[in-house]
Amino acid sequence: MTTDIDPATLNQWYVIQSSDDLTMASPRDTRLLGIPVSAARRDDGQIAAFEMSAAGETVRELPVQERYGYVWTTLGTPDVDLFDMPEFDEEGRRLVVCGIATVKTSPGRIIENFLDMSHFPFVHIDVLGAEPNTEVLPYKARVDADTDELWATDCGFYQPKAMASSTEGSEVDYRYRVPQPYVAVLYKTSPGKAGAFDLVGILPQPLDETHCDIHYFMLVFDEDNSDQELIQFQQGILMQDRLILENQRPLKLPLERGAEMAIRADVASVQYRRWIKDMGVGFGVA
């Protein structure tokens, strides 16, 4: 029942499939926030999505939009438009859709892990980090008062292989943008274009409070690597994260201060938890 879900969670747009993968031949029967949802592409190319009953009957048609290579829907009534990602209009960028990874944890844990740099040398060994370069240098995390988006900026980390196209280790600049609770986009130094940032986005679709289908993409300046190479690089990283994520307890993200011991490197996580708590998010949190 949608009436059991807090408005902050309900009134969000969620990705349920990539545009390319929702074809007439392959509809998507899935769940969103614990509720059965079915989406299909009609022969005129338009998409229809429906809330379904447990018995498989149509309850109602849902709003749908296709943007950024994905199909978005909502079970509520979002009071703002879907956030803007101007990078999608930039010339020379390539969108690489990496598929879905199913992970047994809450969407908040997934976003928080994505924002965390301290695990790089221990989980993504010799790729996103390596001992002894384990220090997370001071960075900033704040909620932008105008847009109500969370940003972590001025992040730097030494990475042996920052992106698929990296040929050597480098100091990589990071910025994180969290435009809504369950969407996070990483901007990192592009090995393919001087002065530019490549994007990595994760879009967890909460199947229920502790199960997610993570949709993820890259939007890169990269003329050297095939889609296959880029996809495998990113899938490899996500599978390393999956192993850690599924072993975190509790699965729901604790929002009470002091529930877990944070250190200075966790300031993005501290801000994230406070931000969604203030918003009134009650789904998938403890």
Partner 1 sequence: MKLHDYILSGSCYKVRLFLNILDVEYEKVPVDFYPGKEHKKPDFLALNPLGQLPVLEDGDLVLRDAQSILLYLATKYDDGNTWFPEDAATRGRVAMWTAFGGGEIMAASAARLHDVLNYPFDIEQQRRAAHAAFIILDDHMAEQEIAGCDWLAGDTPTIADIACFPYIALSEDGGIARDEYPAIERWLARVINLPGFIDMPGVLSPWKAPV
Among 51, 87, 149, 227, which residue sits at the site for partner 1 (rule: CB under 8 A)? Answer: 227
Judged by CB under 8 A, the stretch of 34-42, 82-90, 98-106, 184-192 that binds partner 1 is 98-106
Interface with partner 1 includes 217 (CB under 8 A)?
Answer: no
If the CB atoms of residues 5 and 97 are measured against partner 1, the closer one turns out to be 97
β-strand partners of 203 = 215
Q: Which of 110, 117, 231, 281 binds partner 1 (CB under 8 A)?
A: 231
Q: Which one, 242 or 273, has the nearer CB to partner 1?
A: 242
Sign of dihedral through CA atoms 233, 236, 240, 243? Answer: positive
**Selected range binding partner 1 among 34-42, 87-95, 181-189, 239-247, rule: CB under 8 A:** 239-247
Q: Which stretch binds partner 1 (CB under 8 A): 4-12, 67-75, 188-196, 237-245?
A: 237-245
Among 52, 97, 152, 202, binds partner 1 (CB under 8 A): 97
- 21 residue type, one letter: D
Identity of the residue numbered 38: S
Instruction: Pick the stretch among 81-89, 169-177, 220-228, 271-279 that binds partner 1 (CB under 8 A).
Output: 220-228
Q: Is 99 in the site for partner 1 (CB under 8 A)?
A: yes
Choice from 48, 53, 226, 264 touching partner 1 (CB under 8 A) = 226
- Of 21 and 149, the one with the shorter C-beta distance to partner 1 is 21
Question: Which of the ranges 142-150, 190-198, 238-246, 275-283 carries the binding residues for partner 1, by CB under 8 A?
Answer: 238-246
Residues 6-65 that bind partner 1 (CB under 8 A): 18, 21
Which residues sit at the interface with partner 1, rule CB under 8 A? Answer: 18, 21, 97-102, 104, 125, 226-229, 231-233, 235-240, 242-243, 246
